Chain A
Amino acid sequence: MNWQAIRVIYTAEMLRTWNTLLQSIASPVISTCLYFVVFGSAIGSRIQSVEDVSYGVFIVPGLIMLSLLTQSISNASFGIYFPKFTGTIYEILSAPLSFFEVVLGYVGAAATKSLIIGTIILITASFFVDLQIKHPFWMIAFLLLTCITFSLFGFIIGIWADNFEKLQLIPLLVITPLVFLGGSFYSIDMLPPLWQKISLFNPVLYLISGFRWSFFEVHDVSVGVSLLSILCFLGICLAIVWWMFKTGYKLRQ
């Protein structure tokens, strides 16, 4: 294992975050506050509670997931896209590094950053609503797994993208709709039966459901299935990155 390399990549990436701290952390916090004001207080007060959880509290896990997913993807994709764009990727390619070490450095840093943001949002949320976490261990587990998996997914997008449009395409066109339609702001029980069925094809639903269960023991699908699906996605992403480095896809000519 090339530990030095992991260390320098990780610290360089964290330093980059540190230098742009304000936009990295302020923007998710501000948008979360806005969601609370709009959905939690203004609209939420007119919505009856969902499965005995008041609406303002109910949306907290979904909100955290929304930020976690978008942040993980954008951080990790940018982290690897930028060296590709400027050409400094040559250093990574010509260094004695395995794909796993590169991933630990870049994805580790992106996941750390998302984790920090997730925690900040959680703290922010606790100022607005009275939160109780029934299964803190699983809450942290879901948080961690999500950060890692989606940072990895972002890393893949960063390698795949060959221009800035593509870099933003997936988060915008795929992730945001999936999160919104994945029950961030509602339980799928509220949907007509047909849409409930369709929702089950949305992978993000499993994520949010499991995460929400760790807070309130309220869920759309069982926790085991949630956990399994996120682990599956993690495995798939790892395999893709391994393949990308092995074949040099969009990395080596």
Chain B
Amino acid sequence: MQPIVSINNLSKVYSSGHQALTDITLDIQPGEILALLGPNGAGKTTLISTICGIVSATSGSVQVDGHDIVSDYRHTRSMIGLVPQELTLGAFEKVFNTLAFSRGLHGKQPNRQYLEQLLKDLSLWDKRDSTLMSLSGGMKRRVLIGKALSHEPRVLFLDEPTAGVDVELRKDMWKLINRLRESGVTIILTTHYIEEAEEIADRVGIINNGKLLLVEDKTDLMQKLGSKKLSIELREPLNTIPDSLNKYDLLLSDNGLTLNYQYDTRSTRTGITALMKDINNAGLILRDIHTSQSTLEDIFVNLVADQS
């Protein structure tokens, strides 16, 4: 399948001399949800802004729907919706008008019904005649989403859509994002919340210091990179870990009833068999065993720590 967004060797050096993006290459498939994770200043906003035409690339190229973003900007930009990170909105315009404005900017005929439905979906319909400055932060965020969707884009960029948004609204947004995906919209979002990426993304890209460290299918990523934790519950509490088990770097829980063992699913030998044998030899009696997968957060922290 032809990627909907294709980024090739993209680099950006700001006029200040700061290299914000280094040689980014990435294909985004139609209909997927890609989450870009990265610490502050990693270059996420720069990457999105470049694709949308707000920042110009220093080198490299980007195609959207097979069209170059510079030479064929009319085609690419009319397909893209952007929700910026900052709450950049006018002050005196009315909610409905500002959505109609965005729609018009993208060359679409006015469509009252569509905008009405959109505002209802975003729970903003009863605010349609309010001025933008009279809205709360969460409402403004939704207006920005409404503006980005006003022209029925096929690719949607969400730059930290849930920053400063309460739990309720965040869940609503996740639902909205899922609905959009079902209608075939490709979604690229940045976030600092790993649970968010874990919850809604199909693929996860990790970016740090302007470099794309990896892009993986979310489940693959967790399987491939994730270390697993084996928890062994004991019948009788232990005061200290027996010397014969020292080589496994076990962690004993405070109540002395659980031994935790970290192992890497990628390695051929996980050491579980040997550990079990030694536990048996040490005369410990087991009550229960279970394993747990590490989260994206752990993966993320490890990767970023490795790099620096």
Q: Smallest CB-CB separation from B157: which chain A residue?
A: A94
- Bound CA–CA A88/B104 (angstroms): 15
B193 at the interface (CB under 8 A from A): no
A163 at the interface (CB under 8 A from B): no
User: Which of B78, B88, B104 has the most CB atoms of chain A within a 10 A radius of its CB?
Assistant: B104
A135 at the interface (CB under 8 A from B): no
A12 and B84 in contact, given A96-B107, A253-B15 (Cβ under 8 angstroms) = no
A167 at the interface (CB under 8 A from B): no
CB distance from A3 to the nearest CB of B (A): 8
Residue count of chain A within 8 Å CB distance of chain B = 27
A95 touches B88 (CB 8 A): no
A5 and B53 in contact, given A12-B101, A91-B147, A94-B82 (Cβ under 8 angstroms) = no
B105 at the interface (CB under 8 A from A): yes
B88 touches A90 (CB 8 A): yes
> In the assembled complex, which residues on chain B have CB atoms less than 8 Å from the CB atom of A218?
none
A8 at the interface (CB under 8 A from B): yes
CB distance from A11 to the nearest CB of B (A): 9
- Bound CA–CA A92/B76 (angstroms): 14
A1-44 Cβ-contact flags toward B at 8 Å (1 or 0): 01111011100100110010000000000000000000000000
A252 and B105 in contact, given A12-B93, A86-B90 (Cβ under 8 angstroms) = no
CB distance from A81 to the nearest CB of B (A): 13
Q: Which of A4, A16, A252 contacts B54 (CB 8 A)?
A: A252
B89 touches A5 (CB 8 A): no
A94 touches B104 (CB 8 A): no
Q: Which of B56, B100, B105, B110 contacts A92 (CB 8 A)?
A: B105
> In the assembled complex, which residues on chain B have CB atoms less than 8 Å from the CB atom of A98?
74
- Bound CA–CA A92/B102 (angstroms): 9
A93 touches B104 (CB 8 A): no
B73 at the interface (CB under 8 A from A): yes
B79-114 Cβ-contact flags toward A at 8 Å (1 or 0): 010101010111111000100111111111110000
- Bound CA–CA A92/B82 (angstroms): 12
CB distance from B134 to the nearest CB of A (A): 15
A9 and B105 in contact, given A96-B78, A252-B55 (Cβ under 8 angstroms) = yes
A248 touches B56 (CB 8 A): yes
B101 touches A94 (CB 8 A): no
B106 touches A95 (CB 8 A): yes
B107 touches A94 (CB 8 A): no
> In the assembled complex, which residues on chain B have CB atoms less than 8 Å from the CB atom of A16?
92
A113-136 Cβ-contact flags toward B at 8 Å (1 or 0): 000000000000000000000000
A96 touches B86 (CB 8 A): no
CB distance from A202 to the nearest CB of B (A): 36
A87 touches B107 (CB 8 A): no
B109 touches A253 (CB 8 A): no
A95 touches B105 (CB 8 A): yes
B192 at the interface (CB under 8 A from A): no
- Bound CA–CA A4/B105 (angstroms): 6
- Bound CA–CA A87/B144 (angstroms): 13
Q: Smallest CB-CB separation from B151: which chain A residue?
A: A95
Within 8 A of A (CB), among B224-265: none
B1-25 Cβ-contact flags toward A at 8 Å (1 or 0): 0000000000000110000000000
CB distance from A206 to the nearest CB of B (A): 37
CB distance from A22 to the nearest CB of B (A): 15
User: Which of A5, A15, A253 has the most CB atoms of chain B within a 10 A radius of its CB?
Assistant: A253
- Bound CA–CA A86/B106 (angstroms): 20
A253 and B14 in contact, given A96-B74, A248-B56 (Cβ under 8 angstroms) = yes
Q: Which of A7, A9, A19, A87 contacts B88 (CB 8 A)?
A: A87
Q: 9 extra interchain contacts, Cβ-Cβ under 8 A, other than A8-B101, A12-B97, A253-B15?
A: A7-B104, A9-B104, A9-B105, A16-B92, A86-B88, A87-B88, A92-B105, A96-B107, A253-B56
Give A residues with C-beta under 8 Å from B: 2-5, 7-9, 12, 15-16, 19, 83, 86-88, 90-98, 248, 252-253
| A–B complex contacts, Cβ < 8 Å, 24 sampled | A4-B106, A4-B107, A4-B109, A5-B105, A7-B104, A12-B101, A16-B92, A19-B92, A86-B90, A86-B91, A88-B88, A88-B89, A88-B90, A90-B82, A91-B147, A94-B53, A94-B54, A94-B77, A94-B80, A96-B76, A96-B77, A252-B55, A252-B56, A253-B55
Give B residues with C-beta under 8 Å from A: 14-15, 49, 52-56, 73-78, 80, 82, 84, 86, 88-93, 97, 100-110, 147
